[in-house]
Amino acid sequence: MALELVGVSKSFAAPDGVGTTQALAPVDLTVEKGEFVSLVGPSGCGKSTLLRIIAGLTKPTAGAATLDGKPITGAGPERGLAFQKPTLFPWLTVEQNVAFGPRMAGKADANRERVAQLIELAGLSEFKDSYPHQLSGGMAQRAALVRTMVMEPEVFLLDEPLSALDAFTRMTMQDEILSMWQRLNSTTIMVTHDVDEAIYMGGSILVMAPRPGRILERVEVGMPYPRDRTSGRFFEIRSHVLNLLDFGSRRAADEQDA
Ligand code: ADP
Ligand code: MG
For residue 110, the Cα-to-chain-centroid distance in whole angstroms is 27
Question: Does residue 187 sit within a domain?
Answer: yes
Q: What is the pLDDT of residues 32-79, one digit of tens each?
A: 999 999 999 999 999 999 999 999 999 999 999 999 999 999 998 889
Question: Does residue 143 sit within a domain?
Answer: no
Q: Three-class SS of residue 188?
A: strand
Q: Three-class SS of residue 222?
A: coil
Report the run of H or E that residue 254 belongs to, with start and end: helix 249-257
* Distance from residue 81's CA to the centre of ligand 2 (Å): 13
Domain that holds residue 174: 3-78+153-257
Question: Does residue 146 sit within a domain?
Answer: no
Q: What is the pLDDT of residues 208-240, one digit of tens each?
A: 999 899 999 999 999 999 999 999 999 999 999
CATH code of residue 180: 3.40.50.300
How many DSSP H helices and E strands does the chain contain?
8, 10
Question: Does residue 142 sit within a domain?
Answer: no
Question: Does residue 216 sit within a domain?
Answer: yes
**What helix, strand, coil percent values describe the chain, rounded to 5?**
40, 25, 35
When mean pLDDT is compared across 76-85, 149-158, 247-256, the lowest value belongs to: 247-256
* Distance from residue 43's CA to the centre of ligand 2 (Å): 7
* Distance from residue 113's CA to the centre of ligand 2 (Å): 33
When mean pLDDT is compared across 88-92, 97-101, 182-186, 251-255, the lowest value belongs to: 251-255
Residue nearest to atom 21 of ligand 1 (CA): 12
Q: What is the pTM of this model?
A: 0.90
CB contact set of 120 (below 8 Å; sequence gap of 6+): none
Question: Does residue 173 sit within a domain?
Answer: yes
Q: Give CA–CA dist 241/250, Å, rounded.
A: 12
Question: Does residue 165 sit within a domain?
Answer: yes
Q: Give CA–CA dist 247/239, Å, rounded.
A: 9
Question: Does residue 188 sit within a domain?
Answer: yes
Number of domains within the chain:
1
Which residues line ligand 1 at a C-beta cut-off of 6 Å?
12, 21, 23, 41, 43-49, 213
